[in-house]
Structure 1
């Protein structure tokens, strides 16, 4: 009688078993024969006068469950005399995840009866100190049927005797029968039924999930309708609030226009009272400061307010671009010609003085500047600005601070809070800023340079600033500040060149 053994093995382990068998039968008279039937490889040999036939379903690492099932079925059908046992090949006592996955699938396909006919065969080419827990668990459920082929048993066909002894013990436990076709048929029926039940369970779960999703969708739509109603109510309330705000803004604009009209009348009256001799009077102001501090915006606003320019539908001007050269504006204010000189930064990134720009600003303010307006953007005080006074004293002389006024420029277009009191702001300012103000005689003013504010206080701010300018000029006897760095004739020639260039 031939013992049919279905070998479940990966390619590497099957190759190792074939090599061991061939080496063991080198000196034997009857060599094992190897053949193949389709995808099934067969090894027939004689062990202790008993005929043994290994039918191997060689499995690959990337095979799907369907591929494994087809390979095992082909191997099962090739055993014409029935399957005596299932032989799981592992190497050096290692029960890997791939073998574990195959065994789980085989139990599902061939039923729990499979474990009664399973022998685990370890091909050991090296010493094995310990078996892992997964392998011990498999050995336990297969009633301890674990057999090893070690290097100490090689070289003779007797190396397979321990396997035959384990095989005989297994047959004795199972009534001298192997795994039958009836067992296989029942296992396949159960597997098909289980698979169908899983499919039905999955479909039921999908249906429940769809029902749950539909209920959630209905709930979300109801919540959305509720939110829509709340939003409509909120919008109606907001519209009513906006109507009230528009009314308040209209009243504020009307009050601002009345203020502008009163200021305009006062300035016209002052201009009518001017004498011809007064037209020769002039106050020169040089605005200095860091780039972006608002010098150009301040000059534009002073010019407009002194010139009584005001519009209800005033545009929303953007922030002026950086000044690159010295520029001059001349306006008539309170009986004097007001010369406003705009400047870029008078030093470079390394702190070196820009001599040409210094000459230009002095030339445009001849016979000399009466006032230096040191502009600082409100809320932005940098390290460079804290060093400005010492730099400007090096440029214009030690007397610079005696003719300096600090002008804070404010932009309410960039989300800052309205400044209620400039004095409160200064009182809480950084020590470096307070030190700068002390050096400039604690003379400071604020100017809102964002002109589109409907409640702009710029008229009164410009008026306060010019009043402070006139007071400081008067304190110096009305004369300009004269620096001795450059000859007057040189500055006059430079002024003439600048004016000709602008014509």
Structure 2
């Protein structure tokens, strides 16, 4: 059946979509055909032989909620011979009050079920938001990250990505799309909710009458009690004044003593504590072979922790190979997060690099709390088969109890990539054994350009998994008996001094 999308947007955004027709007129693989059907406008879009019809009703700014509902309902009823879904157009990543009003009307008329069949498109031809605001991020989370950006310079590829997102949405939620039966059920629930509200209102009125009567009786009792309290208060005030001067002197004395003690405790704390207090932080060490995607995953986690979506993501250079341990920090899932990136901690003969091991443990203080084993999805080599054995020899036999497996997915040509659960179920026996020893804790992270928006809920799930693992150990960090805390603290201080010296040297060279 034909795929048809009910479009929610202002006339300005619909006109921006129309302008793509002129800008892409020379591309034979991309075709726009605009027509009218009664009060509605239709755009038949064809990308590389794939077609979808967009139905739009003019939603002007002065429309009431009832008018918006009738316009959307008219578009939906025009989709009788196709698979119906919904499309929200925004401009440059800006989610305004007008679009929020349209979404609220959609949910009120079509029910929460409509969000399962919703895709958000940002038309980016002018001013573009640096980051997505909280309201839009919450919407993307509810519609499972279905967010596409369309620019005139890459319209064909980005519209092709939209069709892939549409296929995945239908595969996950039902190939029939949003149906008339769903609309009938939504209206039925709305009617039932209205009847329940009327009943609740009547019950509330009865309660208010009863409350008013009780309040009247209580006021009479309070008046009598107040007269007694005023008499007692006059006597108490006299006694209070007598004790006030004595208490004032005692209070001044106690305040001075407390200030002296507080100042002494603060000096002692400053002498004993490190420069940066990490006691409430959760520390994570990223481990894996070269090329597994540790640095790519780390960069994406830092972006998502800051609610950032890169605007020029396609022009970013791939991360360089990691040569030394590096510490990054972010605030995620309500707590401070320390992330330590590492190169390989052992050589081809399985011998550990002792200095790198000490560095990663020192930089992870007061942890480590969690070890993140990074594997590239679809690649499991002999080196990765032996990885768990190397890590247990380096960190200790209890290493796997604090480990989480993270699969990194890079760009692929599959229209419907294999799900992570299916991949693990059919994986090599050694990989399945590794995951089992790590408590069957595994997550997936897309670092692809075309699937970028899907990484937002994935990073959120990863944070929840990390916090859950830390909580299961009572918030305690992993203890490595090979090195003392004092030795690691000294090494961490030395790393900081070397970095400061390198920065100062670079500064002097620039001035020379």
- Normalised by the length of structure 2, the TM-score is 0.46
Structure (1 or 2) with the larger CA radius of gyration: 1
Calculate the TM-score normalised by the size of structure 1: 0.47
